[in-house]
Structure 1
Amino acid sequence: MARRDPSPPKDSPASAEGAADAAEEGYLTGQLLVAMPGMSDPRFARSVICLCAHSAEGAMGIVLNQPLPSLTFDDLLAQLKLDPVPPARRIRLTQGGPVEGGRGFVLHTADWETEGSLKVTTGLALTASIEILKAIAEGGGPRQGVLALGYAGWGPGQLDDEIQGNAWLNVPADEALLFAEQPDQLWRVAMSRLGIDPSALSGSAGHA
């Protein structure tokens, strides 16, 4: 299994046009990766990852279904000294991946953006700034979002090789999957979207 700890690809699509170009080239920006049952890396067992960038330079994504039970949104606001605490609204937290685990990223609907937001698709963006946390705490911000600590990253060709090696399936993303209220069920739900019964798969089964 290829390692998943390089820096994000230098030429990550930073606009809707870039994301569209990546999709046209056969890349999977904006789709969900779903780990096969035989995933050999325990950090990604039964993981569902939103690919925020995928190109010839590599890929980066956010794991959606590894909750952070030891840290709450209120705790994070307090640590960052952001008001108000308690906040007017909250979003759930997830362990986004093994790279830069102390850095926060909000994956969110694109109805709210700020300078530096990465446009993943027409309706989806990724923001790593204090402004979005403050906006959410005050009751505003994007309609839907999830706060990730860290991310998953792949170097040039690594993810493509893993997909060819049957480590991952891919499924189109929608808000029900991206912002699932029960992340512990997300892997099975994503599998069912593909018409797959996980119990019927072996680690060497084919890929989408």
Structure 2
Amino acid sequence: MTRSLFSLLVLLFVLWSATAYGLRPAPGTLLVAGESMPDPRFRQTVILLLRHDEGGTLGLVLNRPSRLALGEAFPRLELFAQKTEPLWLGGPVSPGTAFVLVDDDALPAGGVRVVDGVRMTGVRTLVGWIGQGREPARYRVYAGHAGWAPGQLAGELKRGDWQVRPATRELVFADPAELWRRLTKEPVPVLAANRLCSGKVPVAATEF
């Protein structure tokens, strides 16, 4: 077999694999619940993955705002007293732990990049910014997270419970009422790069 023919076969295999399986789960990608999601806690959810490695998987549900305003959720924080923005429900695991996603363009300093243009930090850091008069223009505070034991997500993907999609800043802060339906109508991406497919995002969370 000539080298050029071998290279062509390798390329065709890569194209076929990407078409058949789409993106792989990785930090900075989205999990979009399938139409027949069997777990009622995750029906019509979109989850931003923060960690995916041999130790398991962790992510935040992006489209579940709660009925609680930040001022109600954090009554001991005086700087949150007048905040009417909702507390977001990041998932059923550790609901007493908070995560903050911030628009990178509005971020004073610090935090960990999870998607191009989006960084994650904790409530204490956010409160510090607000106290210094440097409140970010756009951010969301999440209570809890979604989690999978090692190998669990792979089984759910094989069963068709989830589709993996690339995440963007616009999707992270999109209208939650339309996000899931919007993504399920879009074609599954092929050959999109997993920019953060190796390693893990250092997860910075804050206890309530």
* TM-score normalised to structure 2 length: 0.68
Distance 2:29 2:169 in 1: 12
Equivalent residue, structure 2, for 1:75? 72
> Paired residue for 1:131, among 119, 125, 129?
125
2:141 paired with 1:144 = no
The 5 Å alignment of 1:136-175 reads: 136=130, 140-175=134-169
- List gaps (5 residues or longer) in structure 2: 1-23, 190-208
SS at match of 1:68: strand
Q: 2:85 aligned with 1:85, yes or no?
A: no
Q: Does 1:97 align with 2:96?
A: no
Q: Distance in 2 between matches of 1:195 and 1:118?
A: 28
Change (3 A) 1:133 1:193: farther
- The CA RMSD measured in Å over matched residues stands at 2.6
Alignment of 1:183-198 (within 5 A): 183-194=176-187
Cα distance between partner residues in 1 of 2:94 and 2:168: 26
Paired amino acid for 1:60 = L
Match of 1:200 in 2: none
Change (3 A) 1:27 1:193: same
Q: Going by fraction, where is strand more abundant, 1 or 2?
A: 2
CA contact (8 A) 1:35 1:44 kept: yes
Runs of 4+ in 1 over 4 A off after TM superposition: 136-139
Q: Distance in 1 between matches of 2:71 and 2:131?
A: 9
Structure-2 change in CA distance of 1:138 and 1:82 (3 Å): farther
Stretches of structure 1 lacking an aligned partner (at least 5 in a row): 1-25, 197-208
Say which is worse superposed, 137-146 or 52-61, in terms of deviation.
137-146
Map of 1:38 onto structure 2: 36
User: Over residues 143-189 of structure 1, what are the superposed CA-to-partner deviations in whole Å (9 max), with x where a residue is unaligned?
Assistant: 43211110001111211221122110011112221112x31211101
Q: How many residue pairs end up in the alignment? A: 165
Q: TM-score, normalised by structure 1?
A: 0.68
Give the structure with the higher percent helix: 2
